[in-house]
Structure 1
């Protein structure tokens, strides 16, 4: 697990639009928000990513760069992008399970129609220097932070110059 104020591992991930996203190349005004999601098999993820699509401009207004990623294959991620209403969400795929573990994400073995192994949800808000400011990691698909709450938290952080917490 990466504690707040600690530097994260670099991420280099393919996006469904054919480009590559590198954490080390991000230069947000305030934060980078990485949303790790379980994959196309997850209806809760579909709802969450569609809510992210609806909130995307609010994150942009606050100087927050956003990306969502999973360990899905390129083919599955392309289907996700086409079938879900997430046309403006940068969507990454192929996150190696070993990389997900470095971030402290939980890994599940698939049941029924799920992939053999996949990541459980996580939300990370990083400083422009790629240190953890805020993280929320789930071991289940349920109980994820609501984007309105995340946006409210970011508003408070920016207004009050509130420091990252949980590092001790």
Structure 2
């Protein structure tokens, strides 16, 4: 399944940013944690994702679940988690815009301070929607730690707007057209043949992304410091696993001190 083929108020232009109007170390899987909340306030994202996955067991046939599980392992077997940009690598710069028409250059942001760069796959993905809501809930903590949140997505700007509205998010995600930036980070993979029909015909991926490419980016999260260096990377082939906000916040605190 591999080819190399974003409020300082809560106004987000794909990142918590009011000025312009998706820990050092790499995490390739979610660490084990106790069933608590972050700072006693925000439910842990991993717990929410696990509950969503458990609920799917009762409504998705076993054979279908096995097909998706195998697809995840197919992605992992390509080595994409290791071949994508890692901690210590130089971040990729890009000029992007969201559905509000505002343009943002990534390096202009990280030169002001650390950024959290996060991809979500699309509004059709329930795990992405859970993560987006969790990150918005964590925005104050991310900002207080010294960073801006930058969210990228391959879905069309109008679809990203629908995703924000459906989840009651104050987010304007930047459009990574054709996953061009994700490609440069080494995050893009081809969908395994067995699940292409579901993504193409049921989830309507071409309608969301505006092209017929049967590919997606990993739901990756990076922290990038002021020098443009990656200081934290969450890369997991399993789309049900996402960077824990508490870990991201700790990574931001470390990056802000460098």
Q: TM-score range by the shorter chain?
A: 0.7 to 0.9
**1:13 alignment partner in structure 2:** 96
* Structure 1 unaligned spans of 5+: 164-168
Equivalent of 1:32, from 98, 102, 115? Answer: 115
Moved over 6 A (4+): none
Q: Does residue 64 of the first structure (1) align with residue 147 of the second (2)?
A: yes
CA shift in 2, pair 1:152/1:26, >3 Å: closer
RMSD: 2.2
CA contact (8 A) 1:67 1:90 kept: no
For 2:145 and 2:250, the matched residues in 1 are separated by 11
- Return the offset for 1:54: 0.6
Q: Does residue 4 of the first structure (1) align with residue 102 of the second (2)?
A: no
CA contact (8 A) 1:30 1:62 kept: no
For 2:125 and 2:116, the matched residues in 1 are separated by 20
Q: What's the CA shift string for 1:36-61, capped at 9, x where partnerless?
A: 11111100000000011111011111
Under a length normalisation based on structure 1, what TM-score does the superposition of the two structures give? 0.82
Under a length normalisation based on structure 2, what TM-score does the superposition of the two structures give? 0.56
Q: Secondary structure at the match of 1:13?
A: strand
**2:232 alignment partner in structure 1:** 134
For 1:134 and 1:19, the matched residues in 2 are separated by 27
- Name whichever structure is richer in strand by fraction: 1
For 2:97 and 2:173, the matched residues in 1 are separated by 8
Q: Secondary structure at the match of 2:203?
A: coil
Q: Secondary structure at the match of 2:221?
A: strand
- Name whichever structure is richer in helix by fraction: 2
**1:55 alignment partner in structure 2:** 138
* Structure 2 unaligned spans of 5+: 1-83, 206-213
Higher relative CO (Cα under 8 Å, sequence separation at least 6) belongs to 2
